[in-house]
Amino acid sequence: MNYFHYVENELWCEEVPVTNIAEEVGTPFYLYSHRTLDRHFNVFDEAFADVPHIICFSSKANSNIAILRVIIKKGGGMDIVSGGELYRALLAGVDPKKVVYSGVGKREDEIRFAIENEILMFNVESSQELEIINFCAGKMNKRARISLRVNPDVDSKTHSYISTGLKENKFGINIHNAFDEYHQAKKLEHIDIIGIDCHIGSQITKVSPFLDALGRLTNLINLLREDDIDIQYLDLGGGLGITYDEENPPHPTEYAEAIISRAKGINCTFIFEPGRVIMGNAGILVSRVLYTKSNADKNFIIVDAGMNDLIRPSLYNSYHQIQAVIQKERGLFSADVVGPICESGDFLAKNRVVPRFERGDLLAVMSAGAYSFSMSSNYNSRPRVAEVLVKDDQYYVIKRRETYEDIVRGEDIPGFLQE
Ligand SMILES: *Cc1c(COP(=O)(O)O)cnc(C)c1O
């Protein structure tokens, strides 16, 4: 459920007509609903009310510091995957004791930055990484808390590019080696083992893969405890899917009930790293139709947002609903909604039945709150678009549109080229 809705054929976000924002901010822009974000967080949080838990929002889904701030003020923590994300989380005021750090390729400077800030734990993805964390902590006269990210080898039945829990994926430590790896970790002088972690993929629309993974993790926890390795945190990652089109993912309450009942008696603090389920349907991308054209057997709607602004359709062939910001009496037709980028892969929708849009119309690309702005780029030297947050009847520009100066910032013509 979200708070993008029609009032007399006009799309509003909460109490603000989208057209008003487009007129003042220009297009394209991302538009987020505070009330939707708030609701999604609450639903997820309340679903786990009966067990100790920390919700570490996956900040790569949407890393705007205003969005992070909303989550932090609600008691959430952060799942980070880089030093840059730690920097953002700290800027937004995160409690470092609620930060978990995942990722297969943590650099030493990033590891030191995280140790210095005393984050809750590193989700360690290889034995070499473990040694480097130990080495860095020793140099800094500190201790580092860790969990091992275990790859449980379960099929999450999602798109292969966003599946992460199969043994052929690059993520985590193979479940069969994890026991030995924990014993290695126990020998390291500057390491405290506190948890176990997995993240099996994204946009998962069934409960069973999560339960399979959980079962494998709880078995391992029990084995480790027999050997005096006390696991206090059980991090199940993120991955719960949302409805883009006709998917029917489990409601967070159903997901939570299944997990809580499967993990009965395990006596851990749960950590979850949801991203998409919190932010995906809390945002849209608003774009204006530049031109329409037809050739022999195809209609094209050319809009001012392209794959540099929203890459998900090009990257994963993912589906986003296209809606008119102002609904008019006009027929439907089948068309490709494409951007201005010089790539054939630059499309927002393909062979889609949409209203007969005309030049100047505004359209909304729905479910664009997660992995959308955060994946945008300056390709074709296009300034990144603005991000706007609506709360009730007010809106706030939480990232201004980039200028041409912004896009060349840091570039330099060396002296030998300057005559
Ligand atoms: C991307 C990611 C998440 C978030 O996944 P969602 O599908 O957005 O919930 C959580 N944990 C890790 C380690 C990730 O890489």
The DSSP secondary structure of 390-402, one letter per residue, reads EETTEEEEEEPPP
Cis ω before 28 (30° cut-off from 0): yes
**Residue of 273, 277, 315, 371 to mutate, ligand 1, most atoms within 8 A of C-beta:** 273
Instruction: Write down the pLDDT at residue 161.
Output: 64
pLDDT attached to residue 257: 98
Considering only CA atoms, which residue is closest to atom 10 of ligand 1? 238
Residue identified by tokens 């964390």 is: 133
Ligand 1: atom nearest CA of 203 is 7
* 55: its two tokens: 């919700």
Side chain identity, residue 418: Q
Which atom, in ligand 1's list, is nearest to the CA of 273?
10
How is the chain split into domains, by residue range?
4-32+280-408, 34-278
Phi, psi of 411 (to 5 degrees): -85, 155
Nearest protein Cα to ligand 1, atom 3:
238
Q: Which of 76, 77, 116, 85 is nearest to 103 (CA)?
A: 85
Distance between CA 321 and CA 173 in Å, rounded?
37
Neighbours of 329 (CB within 10 A): 6
**Pairing state between β 386-391 and 10-13:** unpaired
CB neighbour class for 131 (10 Å; exposed up to 12, middle 13-18, buried from 19): middle
Q: Going along 189-344, which residue ranges are E strands?
A: 191-197, 233-235, 269-272, 283-295, 298-303, 322-324, 332-338
Other beta carbons within 10 angstroms of residue 50's beta carbon come to 10
Active site residue 136: no
Ligand 1 centroid to residue 160 C-alpha, Å: 14
Task: Please give the backbone phi and psi of residue 205, each rounded to the nearest 5 degrees, phi first.
Answer: -115, 15
CA distance 252 to 45: 9
Do the domains 34-278 and 4-32+280-408 match in fold?
no
Q: Which residue puts its alpha carbon closest to atom 1 of ligand 1?
A: 58
Give the 3-state secondary structure of residue 382.
Answer: coil
Please identify which of the residues 13, 56, 136, 342 carries the catalytic annotation.
Answer: 342
CA atoms within 13 A on the CB side of 413: 4
- Tell me, what's the pLDDT at 24? 98
365 phi, psi to nearest 5 deg: -95, 115
Nearest atom in ligand 1 to the alpha carbon of residue 61 is: 8
Burial (CB count <10 Å: 0-12, 13-18, 19+), residue 1:
exposed
Residue type, 48: F
Residue with tokens 């929002």: 57
Atom of ligand 1 nearest to the CA of 102: 13
34-278 has which fold? TIM Barrel (3.20.20)
- CA–centroid distance, 102 to ligand 1, in Å, is 9
Choose which residue among 102, 159, 242 to substitute to test ligand 1 binding: the one with the highest number of ligand atoms within 8 A of its C-beta.
102
Closest ligand 1 atom to 164 CA: 15
Q: Within 6 Å (CB) of ligand 1, which residues are found? A: 58, 60-61, 79, 81, 102, 199, 202, 237-240, 273-277, 370
Pocket residue to mutate for ligand 1, from 37, 54, 58, most atoms within 8 A of Cβ: 58
pLDDT averaged per 10 residues, the chain (length 419):
95 98 98 98 98 98 98 98 98 98 97 98 97 98 97 80 73 93 97 97 95 96 96 98 96 98 96 98 98 93 98 96 96 97 94 97 98 98 98 98 98 94
Q: Does domain 4-32+280-408 have CATH number 2.40.37.10?
A: yes
